Structure 1
């Protein structure tokens, strides 16, 4: 059997996922990353302003995310993904002070909608029939076309949850992508919908064990290596230029391009990629949460949308935050801190803080942008694409990124074995 070789361009989760699967297939793998550290948009770093190690964003996964589980099992990740034992989602409305918890039962039969104190206040069991239309959403349709964006069920559950999932105003979001997420979570019951958060952070849960796993198998991961250009000959990439002239690509070598969509488009003129994006704003406060604070709290009626309680900090996430991305950071920190105090019911001076803005965090998950996502294959027989922006069938999520790496690795391996 041919051993073969592969080059993975990009050490975000998609690239690391591809590198792990290619290594498992027996290929000699090199990983090249333009930045000084791996992880892409899923990374941890020590922030001197607050004196803590924080994540660039609060990325949530669900217990039913099978690719996440496979990846972590493969690399021997030991740090747990923490979360509740049941799919309980607490909310607070800062506008009127209302508090409630949506409690989804463990099994697939959704009897929770029949129980008043498990469902959204102000809703009836029959209101949830509308979810059936979301589960059957098709390409080209928006969520707003499948479900009327009004009423208590929409404002108190569907809108905040889909905003976090899609990073796009939900009524404009893709019904097809929404349906895919719901089929893999809510439709399978509470056990598949359990929220899981990386503790102590993303690096410990995903990135560091992947790098250690690759290093233990002799697979090189080079930082600070930015791909400048690709040299094409016929139907294949013949050489890669890392800034010091072209380096030949062997016949038994495949390339997985796991870079952001704008970078991929610059390297491959004519490649259609998503070209509209939405911001995500995160804030971190160096203070322990109050006793009994839930690991995750949905917030309505404030600037904050979701609060995450860690042992050493409280974090805020705001999706589709285009209107906040250009605001003064201290103004944002004070607004978020006010929301935190109201949501948790305490009063304290503003602690040390950090605000992290990602102005182009993910592609806009609309039908039009979903249609611009390329598949993993390209017109070049030795080049494959990976990334949460490729056609994974999911929104831009950790699960989608890891799946894209698996798919690109499988196709690259098949190409090398058949070369």
Structure 2
């Protein structure tokens, strides 16, 4: 029960306040007491509350940085995204090609049905309508025959079995070895096999040479952008389990119908603007600012400094060390620099006539791996066709292109020759314009042991977080992996801002695993 304060009590209270003031002053020159520590903790708490009014600064406007900004701004956290280039998208971007007079993508990017977080990002930002879903894939065999690969009415994991059996370029022995290999690969890997290369694993499981070249190579080099002798078997397993075996729709390919700069252009900026998330392009961050052992902001190229409640470094892995030069930051980036990179090349061709009406094709036993009919893709789903109807635009994608990316003229000649073997009308068509684009550091390589080099999104330095497909996401270098990393970084920031256990979850759920798949392969 409360008691009234008397005059004597008031005098005593004043005396105690004076004594406390003297003690506080003298404490500057003595060891801190328990009460000092409590008082300091209260001051720190107030400071942190004030810091939370500062923006979270995100360095890098690729998918990882954009996903971090999307997740935080969705929940009302102040965000400032700084991108050095004049446009968002990072490696998923376009450029103006003077020879063709068109804006073209550096490389064709696609998603899959199993990429639930990338789809969620597109839905949250209002760009999901700019994709077409391919429920039938066109595989072109060595003899030029097209095998249409689509799901049957069977439940997963058997939904694609009839389509697999129709791949006429595989013999019965090839199909039998592949079926056995898929069953073995889908089951949990033993700890002694997690750092094995996929090629070694395939040979150990008695896969035929034709099966390796016409099935495993075709799927995995395209998905992981690396050669089979450099892929960690765990990531090969992930592609087949998540993409083809666990759920009926995980394998479906989703293709942007607009150039990537349009995809990550006005619609996305409108979304961020409506949430009062600030986006600055052509803004170069040259250093991170620290106070004690904490990151407190950034320094720009012109010397401007910006304070932050937290900083998220969302740049490619090979750029991280340039921003983590001084202790304690340097220790954060040590393992990252050991990650290797793999190239992807794209050959852009404009003909004076249509060479095929297929929207896409997977090409077997050829240097060319995927063909995308960009003229047809752009004219579908309500998108406007190119204004110049006398030109037909095709893009050929070659992943893990180390051996062919040198001589552009020779590569173009080889690709056109391969296309003419499939579609004879290429021989009578006139090649109007061609362009070869090679991204030498397109992705990080999922080599055996690469997971130990991938850092978590939360670093050992307070106030510093990482985002990028190269961080520890459990996914390879994909748009899905980049978005997951951004959401994971945002979750860590939200957790640190709210000390309760109720920090919001931003990651979308994976596709549900079919009952038969769980039973057959012991999947979760």
Taking structure 1 as the reference length, the TM-score comes to 0.90
Say whether residues 1:117 and 2:166 are aligned partners: yes
| Rounded Cα–Cα distance in structure 2 between residues aligned with 1:49 and 1:79 | 30
Distance 1:306 1:187, change over 3 A: same
Of 294, 313, 326, the residue aligned with 2:406 is 326
- Say if 2:194 is the partner of 1:139: yes
Q: Tell me if structure 2 keeps the 8 A contact 1:288–1:314.
A: no
Determine whether 1:100 maps to 2:100. no
Answer whether contact 2:214 2:365 (CA < 8 A) is retained.
no
Deviations 1:328-347 (CA, angstroms, capped at 9, x unpaired): x2222222222222233312
Distance 1:238 1:254, change over 3 A: closer
Change (3 A) 1:188 1:257: same
Q: Does 1:25 align with 2:82?
A: no
Question: TM-score scaled to structure 2, two decimals?
Answer: 0.73
Q: Which runs of 5+ in 2 are unaligned?
A: 1-48, 325-329, 376-391, 501-524
CA displacement at 1:70 relative to structure 2: 0.5
Quote the residue 1:304 is aligned against: 368
Which residue pairs with 1:362 in the alignment?
A: 443
- Indicate the structure with greater helix content: 2
**Residue correspondence of structure 1 range 46-65 to structure 2 within 5 A:** 46-65=96-115
Aligned residues: 413
The 1:234–1:91 alpha-carbon spacing in structure 2 relative to 1, beyond 3 Å, is farther
Structure with the bigger percentage of strand: 1
Which whole-Å CA distance do the structure 1 matches of 2:483 and 2:462 have between them?
22
Alignment counterpart, residue 90 of structure 2, candidates 40, 49, 53: 40
Which residue pairs with 2:310 in the alignment? 254
Structure 1's unaligned 5+ residue stretches are none
Confirm or deny: 8 A CA contact 2:138 2:146 kept in the other structure.
no
Contact 1:257 1:385 in 2 (8 A): yes
Aligned mates of 2:414, 2:432 — CA distance in 1? 13
Shift of 1:293: 3.1
Task: Select which of 200, 206, 227 maps to 1:169.
Answer: 227
Structure 1 stretches of 4+ moved >4 Å:
1-4, 96-99
Structure 1 pair 210–144 and aligned structure 2 pair: CA distance change class (3 A): same
Q: Quote the Cα distance in structure 1 between the aligned partners of 2:168 and 2:491.
A: 42
Q: Deviations over 1:142-199 (max 9, x none)?
A: 2123322643332212111100111111232011222223222111344220111111
Find the residue that maps to 1:83 and give its secondary structure. strand
When residues 323 and 402 of structure 1 are mapped into structure 2, their CA distance, relative to the original with a 3 A threshold, is same
Whole-angstrom CA distance in 1 between matches of 2:71 and 2:353: 39
> Match of 2:127, SS?
coil
Following superposition, the deviation at residue 406 of structure 1 comes to 0.7
SS of match in other structure, 2:411: helix
1:276 and 2:276 correspond: no
1:13 paired to 2:63: yes
1:130 to 181, 189, 192: 181
For 2:289, the equivalent position in structure 1 comes to 231
TM-aligned CA distance change 1:114 to 1:282, over 3 Å: closer
Stretch deviating more after TM superposition (226-235 or 405-414): 226-235
Moved more, 167-176 or 108-117: 108-117
The whole-number CA distance in structure 1 between the counterparts of 2:273 and 2:218 is 40
**Partner residue of 1:376?**
457
* Equivalent of residue 90 in structure 1, options 139, 143, 149: 139
Q: How far, CA to CA, are the matches of 2:248 and 2:430 in structure 1?
A: 38
Distance 1:122 1:102, change over 3 A: farther
SS in 1 for 2:346: strand
SS in 2 for 1:147: helix
Secondary structure of 1:286's match? Answer: strand
Q: Conserved in 1, the CA contact under 8 Å of 2:157 and 2:244? A: no
Structure 2 distance, partners of 1:74, 1:168, is 31
Specify whether residues 112 and 35 from structure 1 end up closer, same or farther in structure 2 by C-alpha distance, changes over 3 A only.
closer
Give yes or no for contact 2:352–2:430 (8 Å, CA) kept in 1.
no
Is 1:338 the counterpart of 2:417? The answer is: yes
Distance 1:290 1:370, change over 3 A: farther
